Amino acid sequence: MVESGQPVTMETIVSLCRRRGFVFPSSEIYGGLGSTYDYGHYGVLLKNNIRSLWFRTMVQERDDIVALDSAIILNPSVWEASGHVAGFTDPLVDCRTCKLRFRADQLEQASCGRKPSKRPGETPDCDLTEPRQFNLMFETHVGALQDESSAAYLRPETAQGIFINFKNVAQLARRKPPFGIAQVGKSFRNEITPGNFLFRVREFEQMEMEFFVPPGEAPRWYEYWVDQRLGWHRSLGLRDENLRVREHDASERSHYSSATSDIEYLYPIGWQELEGVANRGEFDLAQHTQHSGTKLEWIDPDGNRYTPHVIEPAVSIERIFVALLCDAYHEEVVGDRERVVLRLHPKVAPVKAAILPLIPRDEGMAGRARALYEELRRHQVVEHDEGGQIGRRYRRQDEIGTPWAFTIDEQTLEDETVTVRDRDSLAQERLPISGVRAWLDDALERDWSSPQSD
């Protein structure tokens, strides 16, 4: 939210990310590569936090889910069996006039390359080809020969790596349905119309979990996972009013899915899919059984065989990254100064605290600040900053979402106390320097909700 009460724009978020080194356009010195991004220091820290919070909730804190890290390049037969070779396509049209490509099913939202821009097909000059199906998988070759026999794909989703390991995991991890396999890793899609910053990119990091259940239990587990995942996004601090669940109607669902819900976020571009939760039935295990000849089924202790059904929550770090920044962004005037503040939940904030000597050239303050920093950095990601006026240093930390700043001042030299400044309320209190580490650990465990909520 900006001071005027207007919602934040994607341009504002892109500019903050650039200015503070969260995200850079990739290959920039060579003119970039469409919709591809590199992450700077704070971007990496934020992504690490999202990934580790997901892993903690989905694996570490559960008895019924185990982890997997499968290869990015799989045997191409995997993608035949999964249906991606035949059907992972978007309809594409070219314009012979402006030479741009569009998704045929999204012409209403597209604009053409001419000035002033028009909707493709809107004017008699637009010369659109007939739609043709375009496969979104990136092709590559394995080995020295570059012919059809060596063709392979970069995975467009992590899920298939899980299905093909069902038997390994079920046997070796000694799990019986209901149980899940979770995986985090890069996926690649040659999107026709990437864009809106990180929202739709060609290379992204998916966090997917396939939950294998007895067929009769699938509807119940589907409801369960929609609830769990919505609750998880709330637990990251995303505001309730910006989250909703939208159930797909039958025309929208994949042919194998009996139920799918999107957890949507109100991005600056409108309500859009943040995470998908699907009841995939027995489709994937049955397909891989048929194509590989290996039976991917469960045999219960009474000898009854069945193909488990699958409930799948799937999300990318990129979509969460953008949602978190949009939700947290706030511009305000404090006193006579403007500040930009990222009100991120402390547990997702890239830096947990800043340690600031009030007068850096004062040896006593500088020494104590350095010692406190050395102590805290062993436990948390913290920053030591002695460059510039204290007000500027606070504002730098506000802009990257650091929840607390510990300031070492004259009084510290007298009574070994420091001030702690709260990013959201701007309240300051004093505490003993020896208690800072415990205070920070406690503060990170406290409940937090966005002060920007309605």
Q: Cβ closer to ligand GAP: 167 or 200?
A: 200
Read off the tokens for 326.
């949009």
CA angle 354, 52, 222 (to 5 degrees): 135
Tokens 């249906």, located at residue? 83
Q: Cβ closer to ligand GAP: 315 or 376?
A: 315
Shortest spacing between CB 325 and ligand GAP, in angstroms: 15
Shortest spacing between CB 49 and ligand GAP, in angstroms: 17
How many angstroms separate the Cα of 32 from the Cα of each of 20, 29, 89, 213? Answer: 19, 7, 26, 45
Query: In this structure, are residues 276 and 313 in contact, taking their beta carbons and an 8 Å threshold?
Result: yes
Q: Cβ closer to ligand GAP: 318 or 398?
A: 318
Shortest spacing between CB 323 and ligand GAP, in angstroms: 10
Instruction: State which H helix or E strand residue 399 sits in.
Output: helix 390-400
Shortest spacing between CB 87 and ligand GAP, in angstroms: 12
Shortest spacing between CB 91 and ligand GAP, in angstroms: 16
For 390-411, b where at least 16 C-beta lie within 10 A, e where not — what string?
beebbbbbbbbbbbbbbbbbee
d(CA 40, CA 400): 12
Residues that bind ligand GAP (CB under 6 A): 157, 159, 189, 191, 200-201, 204, 206, 208, 273, 275-276, 312, 314-316, 318-319
Q: Cβ closer to ligand GAP: 104 or 201?
A: 201
Shortest spacing between CB 369 and ligand GAP, in angstroms: 40
Shortest spacing between CB 59 and ligand GAP, in angstroms: 18
d(CA 76, CA 99): 32
Q: Cβ closer to ligand GAP: 152 or 201?
A: 201
Query: In this structure, are residues 319 and 345 in contact, taking their beta carbons and an 8 Å threshold?
Result: no
CA dihedral 395, 397, 400, 401 (to 10 degrees): -100
Q: Cβ closer to ligand GAP: 283 or 373?
A: 283
CB < 8 Å & 24+ apart, contacts of 123-127 = 125/97, 126/95, 126/97, 126/98, 127/95, 127/96, 127/97
Q: Cβ closer to ligand GAP: 204 or 394?
A: 204
